[in-house]
Amino acid sequence: MSQYTPMILQYLQVKADYQDAFLFFRLGDFYEMFFEDAIKASQELEITLTSRDGGSTERIPMCGVPYHSAANYIEQLVEKGYKVAICEQVEDPKTAKGVVKREVVQLITPGTMMEGKGIAEKENNFIASITSFDDRSFGLAYTDLSTGEGHVTFIDSDFEQVVNELSILGVKEVVVSEIFDDLFIKQLKERNHITISFENDTEIKTEFARIIADIESGELKQTVIRLLNYLHRTQKRSLDHLQPITTVDLHQFMKIDYYSKRNLELTETIRSKGKKGSLLWLLDETMTSMGGRRLKNWIDRPLIDSRAIEKRHLLVEIFMEHFFERQELRERLKEVYDLERLAGRVAFGNVNARDLIQLKHSLQQVPAIHAIMEQFHHEEALKLSNSLDPCEELTDLLERSILENPPISVKEGGIIQNGFNAELDQYRDASRNGKTWLARLEQEERNRTGIKSLKIGYNRVFGYYIEVTKSNLHLLEEGRYERKQTLTNAERFITPELKEKEALILQAEEKSTELEYELFLQIRESVKEFIPRLQRLAQIISEIDVLQCFASVSEKRHYVKPIFNKERKIVIKDGRHPVVEKVMDAQEYVPNDCYMDKEREMLLITGPNMSGKSTFMRQIALTSILAQIGCFVPASQAILPVFDQVFTRIGAADDLISGQSTFMVEMLEARNAIMNATQNSLILFDEIGRGTSTYDGMALAQAIIEYIHDRIGAKTLFSTHYHELTVLEENLEQLKNIHVSAMEQNGKVVFLHKIKEGPADKSYGIHVAELAELPHELIVRANEILAELEENSDQVKETPKMKEETVQAQLSFFEEPNTKVKQETSSKDKKILEELKSINLLEMNPLQAMNVLYELQKKIKS
């Protein structure tokens, strides 16, 4: 270390405490990075890598970014999952003895970003902490530093449930102790791409007492304190805006695991990973950022308390009945800025005058919103409106103190209203009078010299000056003007009178700017006192926003109010898939009914590909979720049970990260449903078993159907292409066959998208292949093979029920022979039989099996 210069030594000492972060080291107007940080940052940010002499024999790698544009570079690194430590000069270079003292003033991480493009307006940016109590119980705390909201929950399950919660919440950073299980950390990094941070301090600090006051469990309190201590250590500033942590009981909400949420495309689509095409996209007609976040939270956590759900339905109904008032309310809400994040910026100390003007404009809408809500003349609406706090004292303070169109910078003046502070008014008056005097002096000098182009100007380096073009210099009176600066085409001068007045004007302006900044800081501190009231106001406004949003969507799309029953009955008439219906706006969507009761617990759905089986299944789940978040539903009538969980297995995709095949993913998701579902759950299984050979797949599908039917009793929709399974209706009392109808017209298949009772009679697989425009020759050949198979096959569509006795892994497609095979077989027949015995069907897909069967059939015929 002794070989380096004092400045590089200082850099290395600071860097030692931030090994897992890029260190932005302030040198003048740049943030510089050295050594490995410089090499890696130059690659990630695509900036020039240079080097400098640091006292050692070899030059040190170096790169840097300008101080004024550093925010963009920091954001790029953080979006990629990195951490950035900001190291500033903390003493005046003029008074420093030796190297200027520097310290890290903030650590910016994926979970602690307060602003920028990476922070979506209508999404939370959560940072979480996890505490492991044993292998099957965990504490999970999470907070959004930008809004101040925070929650903690106890998870009495395996770590997979923790991962599931983190995925649903979209957590970007997790704080754990250094002794946290390495396997869990590896799982978080690989599957969720989460940044891992460490914090061992779980000592309760005095300033956090109010935040953890409502937490009863000591274990959960420890989880929260770990998170708060990490934020305190890394952010090094006020956390006054953090709201009291609320304890979330996951059993009070409908459980939808991450895979089911993805399969149903609740908040993002499977293909694009974007919002467009999701249920959130359909519903989001909120007018505020706070409402958008609240909507997403409601979709993530549907209610299971029927009274709470029906209260939301009642309010949505009230909003729907008052169209004109609702439209006026939407206009008012449009003028409300993000109160939660504005409060966060106030507490964090990075709020500017324009932010405070936004806050003032938002508060000015509250009385109007209250008045509109009163026009509904309903007790529940009045409860909401009476909860609105207009914070009149704060509105008055901001009205009196901050100019309407202030600059972005808070250190250059032009922020405070005239009349707010007497001393500031005096400075401004001196400055204003001085400038009037300057204008008068300029006119006098023009008259005295006869130079019409003479002007008095100002710059920061030379102060005030009299500028005369070189062609007019001969008109100046000698001895009166003192040369100050020479330009290409002009000379700048100063006179004794101008020099005297300059000192007075500049002193007044400097003091005025300093005083404005001090006053702004005082106003900011006053606003801090209102943070809890602002946060409560934000919660009420966001709830009003989501409810009016539900009413607007329900009215526009002709949704109906659902009715709940305790008999676990589903009656949906003219049900539609809400998102598909919106996408198909120009076309007519084909609605479908769904009826299920205690005698119809399971529906086995058959029908060709592209006919709408998956859409029908999804729309039942989405209808239930819409109902339980408090929205009306896409149907002409909807009678529903309250579901405690929704499980789906729809679509097929390899989990490449964990190295699992499509079939393994399918089986894991099926296991999750089977192991966790109750009688009050909803299960959607789409073509379970298709990822393996025909016999294996069919055996598994039947076994799963029987297990759910006999052991669980959950409402289940099971689609399949195994038509042999339709005979299960004869043995399973609560299972009924339904199918999506299709018809042939002029040799082409026409999908009717209509659900009918009974099994499908054909699969239309070759027709679908034809629609996909496979080569004509291939289609012709497939039809030939199909015709021969249908003509010659002696298969019997009968599937034995796997209940009373253990059955082999394969299902029998052939009738057992009633008589023994004759002993007198020809040598040719024996050869064919031996070939048949040698075939391993388990290693074949259906097409290969069909081809082998075709070849054997040709041999027998010949």
Whether residue 812 lies inside any domain: the answer is no
Domain span at residue 225 reads 126-252
Among 82, 108, 134, the domain boundary falls at 108
Please report the pLDDT score of residue 177 as a whole number: 94
Same domain, yes or no: 36 and 84: yes
The CATH code of the domain that includes 36 is: 3.40.1170.10
What number of other Cβ atoms are within 10 A of residue 594's Cβ?
A: 21
Same domain, yes or no: 710 and 653: yes
d(C-alpha 471, C-alpha 477), whole Å: 15
Tokens of 300: 């993530």
Question: Which residues pair with residue 40 across a beta bridge?
Answer: none
d(C-alpha 515, C-alpha 505), whole Å: 15
Please report the pLDDT score of residue 584 as a whole number: 83
* Residue of 400, 384, 403 lying closest to 392 (CA atoms): 400
Whether residue 472 lies inside any domain: the answer is yes
Please report the pLDDT score of residue 735 as a whole number: 95
What single DSSP character describes residue 660?
Answer: B
The CATH code of the domain that includes 467 is: 1.10.1420.10
Which residues belong to the annotated binding site?
Answer: 607-614
Whether residue 272 lies inside any domain: the answer is no
SS3 569: coil
What number of other Cβ atoms are within 10 A of residue 329's Cβ?
A: 24
Burial class (CB in 10 A: 0-12, 13-18, 19+), 830: exposed
Same domain, yes or no: 344 and 485: no
Please report the pLDDT score of residue 812 as a whole number: 40
Same domain, yes or no: 97 and 172: no
Q: How many domains does the chain have?
A: 6
d(C-alpha 743, C-alpha 751), whole Å: 7
**Buried/exposed 121-144: b ≥16 CB within 10 Å, e otherwise:** ebbbbbbbbbbbeeeeebbbbbbb
Which residues belong to the annotated binding site for ATP?
Answer: 607-614
**Chain centroid offset of residue 747 CA:** 47
Same domain, yes or no: 152 and 232: yes
The CATH code of the domain that includes 184 is: 3.30.420.110
**Chain centroid offset of residue 467 CA:** 59
Same domain, yes or no: 172 and 311: no
Same domain, yes or no: 569 and 713: yes
Same domain, yes or no: 598 and 535: no
The CATH code of the domain that includes 716 is: 3.40.50.300
Please report the pLDDT score of residue 658 as a whole number: 47
Q: pTM of the full predicted structure?
A: 0.82
Q: Is 651 left (phi over 0), alpha (psi -120 to 50) or beta?
A: left
CA distances to 317, 641, 644, 717 from 562, in Å: 11, 10, 17, 20
Same domain, yes or no: 311 and 233: no
Please report the pLDDT score of residue 764 as a whole number: 64
Whether residue 818 lies inside any domain: the answer is no
Same domain, yes or no: 186 and 62: no
Please report the pLDDT score of residue 749 as a whole number: 66
Question: Which residues pair with residue 578 across a beta bridge?
Answer: none
d(C-alpha 625, C-alpha 282), whole Å: 14
Residues 794, 798, 804, 806, CA torsion sign: positive
Tokens of 273: 């990973």
Whether residue 405 lies inside any domain: the answer is no
Please report the pLDDT score of residue 635 as a whole number: 96
d(C-alpha 348, C-alpha 242), whole Å: 10
Among 62, 81, 108, the domain boundary falls at 108
All residues at 6 or more sequence positions from 251 whose CB lies less than 8 Å from its CB, including other chains: none
**Chain centroid offset of residue 388 CA:** 28
- Mean pLDDT per 10-residue section of the chain, whose length is 862 residues: 82 94 94 95 94 84 93 93 93 82 94 84 94 88 94 91 91 94 89 89 90 90 95 90 93 91 90 89 96 96 96 96 95 96 89 95 96 92 93 96 92 91 86 82 90 88 89 86 90 87 80 92 94 95 97 96 96 95 81 94 87 89 97 97 92 47 77 91 87 76 92 94 88 93 70 84 68 78 75 49 39 43 58 76 65 76 68
What single DSSP character describes residue 155?
Answer: E
Q: What is the C-alpha radius of gyration for the chain, rounded to an integer number of angstroms?
A: 37
Same domain, yes or no: 102 and 144: no
Whether residue 798 lies inside any domain: the answer is no
Whether residue 220 lies inside any domain: the answer is yes
Whether residue 614 lies inside any domain: the answer is yes
d(C-alpha 214, C-alpha 245), whole Å: 7
Same domain, yes or no: 709 and 571: yes
CA distances to 76, 84, 173, 193, 305 from 110, in Å: 11, 10, 6, 11, 35
